[in-house]
Amino acid sequence: MTAHVLVVNAGSSSLKYSLVDADTGVALATGLVERIGEESGGSHTHTGPDGTKHREDRQCRSHEEALRTAVDAFGRIGPSLTETPITAVGHRVVHGGARFADPVVVDDQVLAAVADLVPLAPLHNPANLEGLTVARRLFPDLPHVAVFDTAFHQTIPPRAYTYAVPLAWRDEHRIRRYGFHGTSHQFVSGEAARMLGRDPAEVNVIVLHLGNGASATAVRAGESVDTSMGLTPLEGLVMGTRSGDIDPALHAHLARQFGWTLEQIDTALNRDSGLKGIAGQNDFREVVRLRAEGDPAAELAFDVYAYRIRKYVGAYYAVLGSVDAIVFTAGVGEHNPDLREAALAGLDRLGIRLDLERNRGEVDGPTLVSPAGADVAVLVIPTNEEWEIARQTLTALGR
Ligand code: ADP
């Protein structure tokens, strides 16, 4: 029988959900409740089986109210949960620390462990915990599974996850690299092996997940061996509003020279940096538009963004020794051929080439954009984190 997994992604003021057919990955419904707990501007969108997006103004006071609103929409708009019963609920949880390398069936102990990890993900884990708690209250008879964004990266060896910092920091405060976007990297690297018609255990892949957040992962034989995000999602590639790699002494410099607080610096690096910091726009489409008009700041932002990707491709090529595929995924990776060209140009000696025509062609589903027979296949593969969460939810339930 087909299993339908309700995938829940609870943010601090939002709740995203999707009812996924775990066999096909098709979403029978998707929805988003925004500005939960805020004064005004709340909204709810629900897209049912016919693909029509229903939007209403809706101020939800709590995540519980938000989830009830979603359940109500299934009744009003569809699909009916009586006719399409939910098999299980899969929760996206950002931080699983060093404790969770796999998805787990949620019980009180798991909730306590997620709470224990709040210091490592102070913005995300409390919201995820709230999502888990209210969903268990609303669906007490269904199994709930937590799928961690960090889990796929738990195979990264100590030489790659260790920061060269004092022992006490690492031992007592769990300071190390964890990595994020794990479900996406796992899904996409698996799809890459499938596209190449090979066993995942035989292929090495560099995955470039370029969305609002962005990260690169080196995948050897189906396992993550290095990734660009670290203790937090700030490290690594240039993102929409995050700086990515910077000199770690920058905080001290700004604090000493200008008296800025850690809070101000942290906010600026996470929210006002990246593409937004350089071009004034965090949306890549806007950067592309301004660049086409000859805006020098947008040109620089594009350059810095592409150059950082190229550096990580080189680094992960060296980490893996040999590379079978480079995969572009998420909003920017899937939709911007110029960026793919800029990031990979001139790497022929590494066996990396694009077929310029294919790269510029329509990308609708997994697409090969390198010449046939090239040493390294360059692929564009739409990510589907919800499907991966649905599949992992069933795996955790032994189905
Ligand atoms: P998230 O990380 O929130 O899942 P997405 O994967 O949707 O984000 O990626 C969002 C980014 O993708 C934005 O910067 C957006 O501008 C960019 N993007 C989306 N569509 C296109 C497109 N057609 N061309 C260029 N960039 C795009």
User: Residue 240 C-alpha to ligand 1 middle, in angstroms?
Assistant: 9
Q: How far apart are CA 8 and CA 123, in angstroms?
A: 17
169 Cα: distance to centroid of ligand 1 (angstroms) = 36
Largest interatomic CA distance in the chain: 64
Tell how far the Cα of 118 is from the centroid of ligand 1, in angstroms. 28
The pLDDT of residue 363 is: 85
> Is residue 283 within 6 Å of ligand 1 at its C-beta?
yes
From the number of C-beta atoms within 10 Å of its C-beta (0-12, 13-18, 19+), residue 336 rates as buried
274 lines ligand 1 (CB under 6 A): no
Which residues face 219 on adjacent strands? 205, 224
How many Cβ atoms are within 10 Å of 349's Cβ, its own excluded? 6
Look at residue 156 and give its three-state secondary structure. Answer: coil
* pLDDT value, residue 1: 77
Separation in Å, CA 343 to CA 39, 77, 105, 233, 346 = 43, 43, 40, 21, 9
Q: Which of 149, 183, 283 to mutate to test the pocket of ligand 1 (most atoms within 8 A of CB)?
A: 283
Q: Is 32 in the pocket of ligand 1 (CB under 6 A)?
A: no
The residue type of 315 is A
Residue 149 designated active-site: yes
Question: Is the CB–ligand 1 distance for residue 332 below 6 Å?
Answer: yes
Ligand 1 mean position to 296 CA, how many Å?
22
Which residue type does 318 have? A
The sign one gets for the Cα dihedral 394, 397, 398, 399 is negative
Which among 101, 274, 118, 92 has a CA at the least distance from the CA of 184?
92
- Confidence at residue 364, expressed as pLDDT on a 0 to 100 scale: 86
Instruction: Please give the CATH superfamily to which domain 4-148 belongs.
Output: ATPase, nucleotide binding domain (3.30.420.40)
Round to the nearest angstrom and report the end-to-end CA distance of the chain: 11
Q: Are 242 and 273 in contact (CB under 8 A)?
A: yes
Q: Which protein residue's CA is at the shortest distance from atom 19 of ligand 1? A: 331
DSSP string, 199-260: -GGG-EEEEEEESSSEEEEEEETTEEEEES--SSTTSSS--SS---S--TTHHHHHHHHH--
Residue 65 near residue 115, CB atoms below 8 Å: no
Q: Which residue in 21, 50, 107, 149 is the catalytic one? A: 149
Q: Is the dihedral of CA 337, 244, 390, 87 positive or negative?
A: negative
Which of 208, 248, 254 minimizes the C-alpha distance to 228? 208
Is any atom of ligand 1 closer than 6 Å to the C-beta of 103?
no
For ligand 1, mutation pick of 7, 209, 284 (most atoms within 8 Å of CB): 284
Domain with CATH 3.30.420.40 in the chain: 4-148, 198-385
Give the pLDDT confidence of 294-318 residue by residue, as tens digits: 999 999 999 999 999 999 999 999 9
Cβ of 335 closer than 6 Å to ligand 1, yes or no, is: yes
Residue 56 DSSP label: E
Best mutation site among 336, 381, 383, 386 for ligand 1, i.e. most ligand atoms within 8 A of its Cβ? 336
Q: How far is the CA of 213 from the centre of ligand 1 (A)?
A: 10
CATH class as words, domain 198-385? alpha beta
With beta carbons less than 8 A apart as the criterion, state whether 237 and 329 touch.
no
Kindly give the distance from the C-alpha atom of residue 388 to the centroid of ligand 1, in angstroms, as a whole number.
20
Q: Is 253 in the pocket of ligand 1 (CB under 6 A)?
A: no
Distance of CA 211 from the midpoint of ligand 1 (Å): 5
Residue 234's nearest CA partner among 217, 246, 252 is: 246
CA distance 190 to 221: 10
Give, using CA atoms, the residue closest to atom 23 of ligand 1: 335
Residue at token pair 């699983």: 96
> For the chain, which ranges sit under pLDDT 70?
none
| pTM passes above 0.85 | yes
User: Is ligand 1 within 6 A of the CB of residue 213?
Assistant: yes
Question: In 3D, which of 94, 49, 324 has the Cα closest to residue 204?
Answer: 324
88 close to 143: Cβ distance less than 8 angstroms: yes
Query: Tens digits of per-residue pLDDT, 13-66?
Result: 999 999 999 999 999 999 999 999 999 999 999 999 899 999 999 999 999 999
Q: What pairing do the DSSP bridges indicate for beta strands 27-34 and 43-47?
A: antiparallel
